[in-house]
Amino acid sequence: MEQQPLYLLDRESPAERRRRQLRQQQSSCFSCLLVVISALIALIVLWRPLVGWWQQRFETPQGRQIVTMFPLQVQTDATVYRRHNLVRFQVQVTNPYGEKVRPKEPPQIVVRQDEQIVMTVAGVRRLIPSWNAAQQSYVCYWPIPWAAKPGGYVAEAKIKIPNPNNWPWQLDLPPDEEQPSYEHGTSFCIARMPFQVTRQPPPDIPPGLCVATWEADFPEGQTIRRPDGTTGDWQAILDWCEFLGADTLWFRGAVTRLGCTDEAPFVKKNLEAIPRLAAAAHRRGLRFGTWAVAYATYPRKRKDNRGLPVYQWAQDISVSTGQTSNDSFISLLDPKRITHLADFFKQMQRTHEVDFVGLDYLRNDRGGYEMTDEFVSQMPVELPNNWADYSRKQRWKFVARKIKTEWNSDVDFYEQWNWWRAHLNASNVEQIIRNSGIRKPVWVFQLGWMHGAQHGQDALMFNDAGVALIAPMLYQTESFQHFDYLIKSWNRYTKPDEVNLAAGDQVDDYWHRPTASATHGSRRPAAPEVLYQRMMRAHREMIDGQRTIGAFWHDISRAAMQGRLGPYPGNEWALAGAAAFSDIRQSWQVYPLRVELSVPDNTPVGATFTARLTINNVSPAPVRDITVKLEDTEHIAPVSQQQRQVAEIGPGEAHIVPLRLRITQADAQRANRYMVAVRVGWPPGDYGEKVRGDLPRTIVAMKYINGT
């Protein structure tokens, strides 16, 4: 049987042409001859019922006026989208006299880029829209794929047309050619709608940003230990910043806990401390940022949430019993929380001393099942056939079972849940930024595992929503293998110039224990050494082909007050962070000097050994009056003088400073592993265009040595 040709039907009325041009609608219709004998027999058997059914909808009864109208239209709710958006499709089917109809089979929708079907989240290629009785049309949503390629896309809807001869289409064919016949064929109608997916270029943040954080409440009236072991008041926070070589302090300013109200949703003493702490930071040459705990409230794990502002709380449900309970996290669907966070941003915009504003806990905890109906209505998830008959509890249990117990077996459902939460998170942040009118750089803390996706967070979505800087948290990775996976997942996902990253690690001996983190055979690195290694590897490898712009060290209160330090004093954790800050800045060549420290791998306890510090001048100008100071660290003592002076190093020249040291005693608690740390400083000056004069003029070089 000979294949019938395909014809493009593009004759339309002037009115319809105007509608098409306004909507940028591209439509076509084609017919394919049935070539399989069994399919032809089936068509013959079903021909009369099909014709009768379609006659009621598409044929023109005698006396009714034919309206020349294309039978299928697809529309999007916008023409330009960002990567955190959901694309809404609306499809209308009409008969020849312009009435909206509902065919027996719904249309199918695909999205194409460069004529190729785009696979979206969870491997979905085709969408089946749902009938919306109120709008007399079909509706569905297309999640823009993770890390979608910017550019032009085309939505393509397709539906069967049993008898196109009932439509008054004509082709502009030469007079000697006959109009095509559609008998014995199955005809399809295709409508297309173009749209754009764009990305927000990340703002220009100078490289070398190094941040120290304070996550506790403002310590009014409390005694704080300084890095040198002495004590002071709250201004000791700034002493730690200077010791670390940080250029910025971030303070947790907006916290919701017991006693807060709708009128005053955040702890008052922290809000009142922000201008005072920020002004003090500025006097010391530090920039200042403050962040809000977005959706968590305190104390955590509280079920009744009495004594807190009246919020819509995230809901958890037991898969076995169906019992629901409040979480201490606020629901991502609560508009009141967005208002409260936007109000905090407004206040920080008005506070002159504040340079950055941030957000943390942009996620659920264990719950979030109050979002079930919104989630399943907007994502192409597979649901039971009788879903419409499910009670609310049954719907929540179904989703909870997928997320809690079947996440590893139904990975598609789990991925769609994670994408939808990331979309909602970024959309909420976008609304906070828009409603607040904030013009200062906004940063967010993002969990590091699976580049945040497992927690409903996505760096590229946050960037497109208006976030200037993403601060991935390298926390709570229990082994080298876990950390390796974390870094590689970011590297595979994130490409150069897509987002500003400044990753950070926290002061916590438990998650950096040597037995869980050893990287080189039997060598057992000290916990602060692991912190340094992780910060540096994140800087070099999180982005494929590019370094991160900076880092953060978390947090001062853990080193100075109540952290899990293990056998290492707080200043040792800080020196490890300072060494990471220094190496990050040296990698960006924003310092006039490059410093390298070498020590023996092993030395007997009590014996003298030599550490060598090499100072290279990488600037086009001479650097004079360089100070070299051996830092006080546990069980390391100088044999010669502790501080040296280097008069001058010329451009391109190097100078070696030998340091005679010894290990004073064995310490099994720290596996006889000891830190040697040297601080280098230089005066202000003009050292060339690359060198940033606004950064602290200090470099810390650090190495560990084994005592035998």
Name every residue whose Cβ is closer than 8 Å to that of residue 202 and which is 6 or more positions away in sequence.
Answer: 463, 468, 497, 498, 499, 500
Task: Name the nearest CA neighbour of 393 among 319, 330, 331, 334.
Answer: 319
Residue positions counted in the chain: 708
Assign 172 a pLDDT band (cuts: 50, 70, 90): low
Report the alpha-carbon distance of residue 142 to residue 122 in Å, rounded: 12
The residue assigned the tokens 């967005």 is 338
Report the alpha-carbon distance of residue 96 to residue 57 in Å, rounded: 8
Report the alpha-carbon distance of residue 31 to residue 72 in Å, rounded: 15
Report the alpha-carbon distance of residue 399 to residue 406 in Å, rounded: 10
Report the alpha-carbon distance of residue 59 to residue 78 in Å, rounded: 34
pLDDT in tens, 597-644: 999 999 999 999 999 999 999 999 999 999 999 999 999 999 988 999
**Is pLDDT of 15 > 50?**
no
Distances (CA, A) of 685 to 234, 243, 578, 588: 32, 21, 22, 19
Report the alpha-carbon distance of residue 541 to residue 531 in Å, rounded: 15
Mean pLDDT of all residues belonging to the chain: 89
Cβ–Cβ < 8 Å for 571, 236:
no
Report the alpha-carbon distance of residue 249 to residue 213 in Å, rounded: 6
Mapping DSSP to helix (H, G, I), strand (E, B) and coil, where does residue 508 land? coil
Residue, of 222 and 13, whose pLDDT is higher: 222
Helices assigned H by DSSP within 381-472:
392-404, 411-436, 459-464
Copy the structure tokens of residue 168.
């008054």
Residue, of 62 and 607, whose pLDDT is higher: 607
Distances (CA, A) of 379 to 384, 544, 580: 14, 30, 42
In whole angstroms, what separates CA 114 from the centre of its chain? Answer: 27
pLDDT at position 49, please?
Answer: 46
Provide the CB-side half-sphere exposure for 305 (13 A, CA). Answer: 19
pLDDT at position 23, please?
Answer: 44
547-580 burial, b at 16+ Cβ within 10 Å, e below that, comes to bbbbbbbbbbbbbbbebebbebbbbbbbbbbbbb
pLDDT at position 68, please?
Answer: 54
DSSP string, 136-198: TEEEEEEEPPTTPPPEEEEEEEEEEES-GGGS-------TTSPPPP-TTEEEEEEEEEEEEEE
What letter represents residue 72's amino acid? L
In this structure, the strands spanning 442-447 and 356-360 are parallel
pLDDT at position 160, please?
Answer: 87
Lowest mean pLDDT among 324-328, 433-437, 519-523, 570-574: 519-523
Q: Is 242 exposed, middle or buried (0-12, 13-18, 19+ CB in 10 A)?
A: middle
Assign 98 a pLDDT band (cuts: 50, 70, 90): confident
Mapping DSSP to helix (H, G, I), strand (E, B) and coil, where does residue 475 land? coil
Count the Cβ atoms, other than its own, within 10 Å of residue 150: 12
Task: Name the nearest CA neighbour of 548 among 535, 537, 539, 557.
Answer: 539
Copy the structure tokens of residue 116.
């190729």
Task: Name the nearest CA neighbour of 330 among 362, 377, 359.
Answer: 362
Q: Where are the domains of the chain?
A: 14-198, 209-372+422-587, 589-708
| Most confident stretch, 9-18, 176-185, 487-496 | 487-496
Cβ–Cβ < 8 Å for 118, 111:
yes
**Is pLDDT of 94 > 80?**
yes
β-strand partners of 324: 317
**Is pLDDT of 67 > 80?**
no
Report the alpha-carbon distance of residue 218 to residue 357 in Å, rounded: 17
Report which secondary-structure segment, H or E, holds 585. Answer: helix 570-587
Report which secondary-structure segment, H or E, holds 583. Answer: helix 570-587
Per-residue pLDDT, averaged over 196-217, amounts to: 97
Task: Name the nearest CA neighbour of 561 among 299, 231, 244.
Answer: 231
pLDDT at position 304, please?
Answer: 82
**Dihedral of the alpha carbons of 48, 51, 55, 60, in degrees to the nearest 10:** -120
pLDDT at position 151, please?
Answer: 98
pLDDT at position 96, please?
Answer: 79
pLDDT above 90 covers what percent of the chain?
Answer: 80
**Is pLDDT of 7 > 60?**
no
Report the alpha-carbon distance of residue 622 to residue 646 in Å, rounded: 12
Name every residue whose Cβ is closer than 8 Å to that of residue 238 and which is 6 or more positions away in sequence.
Answer: 249, 280, 281, 284, 286
Assign 43 a pLDDT band (cuts: 50, 70, 90): very low
pLDDT at position 71, please?
Answer: 86
Question: In the chain, how long is the greatest CA-to-CA distance?
Answer: 110
Distances (CA, A) of 654 to 472, 510, 627: 36, 40, 15
Mapping DSSP to helix (H, G, I), strand (E, B) and coil, where does residue 539 land? helix
* Domain 589-708 indexed as CATH 3.30.70.890: no
Per-residue pLDDT, averaged over 425-445, amounts to: 98
Q: For 209-372+422-587, which CATH class?
A: alpha beta
pLDDT at position 410, please?
Answer: 96
Name every residue whose Cβ is closer than 8 Å to that of residue 493 and which is 6 or more positions away in sequence.
Answer: 146, 147, 451
Per-residue pLDDT, averaged over 419-447, amounts to: 98
- Cis-peptide, bond into residue 299, ω within 30° of zero: yes
pLDDT above 70 covers what percent of the chain?
Answer: 85
Task: Name the nearest CA neighbour of 26 among 191, 171, 166.
Answer: 191
Task: Name the nearest CA neighbour of 664 among 606, 599, 610.
Answer: 606
The residue assigned the tokens 């109200």 is 261
Domain 589-708 in the same topology as domain 209-372+422-587:
no
What's the start-to-end Cα distance of the chain, in Å? Answer: 89
Report the alpha-carbon distance of residue 165 to residue 655 in Å, rounded: 90
Provide the sign of the torsion angle of the four alpha carbons 427, 433, 439, 443, taken in this order: negative
The residue assigned the tokens 């008054």 is 168
Per-residue pLDDT, averaged over 568-595, amounts to: 98
pLDDT at position 617, please?
Answer: 98
β-strand partners of 445: 471
Cβ–Cβ < 8 Å for 435, 448:
no
* Secondary structure letter of residue 602 according to DSSP: E
* CATH number of 14-198, picked from 3.40.50.2300, 2.60.40.1930, 3.40.50.620, 2.20.25.90: 2.60.40.1930
pLDDT in tens, 479-519: 889 999 999 999 999 999 999 999 999 999 999 986 544 44
Name every residue whose Cβ is closer than 8 Å to that of residue 78 and which is 6 or more positions away in sequence.
Answer: 85, 87, 195
Cβ–Cβ < 8 Å for 401, 320:
no
Report the alpha-carbon distance of residue 247 to residue 270 in Å, rounded: 22
**Is pLDDT of 527 > 50?**
yes
pLDDT at position 514, please?
Answer: 61
pLDDT at position 20, please?
Answer: 44
Between CA 443 and CA 510, with CA 365 as vertex, the angle to 5 degrees is 80
Between CA 675 and CA 680, with CA 679 as vertex, the angle to 5 degrees is 150
Helix, strand, coil % in the chain, rounded to nearest 5:
30, 30, 40
Assign 36 a pLDDT band (cuts: 50, 70, 90): very low
**Is pLDDT of 53 > 80?**
no
**Is pLDDT of 208 > 60?**
yes
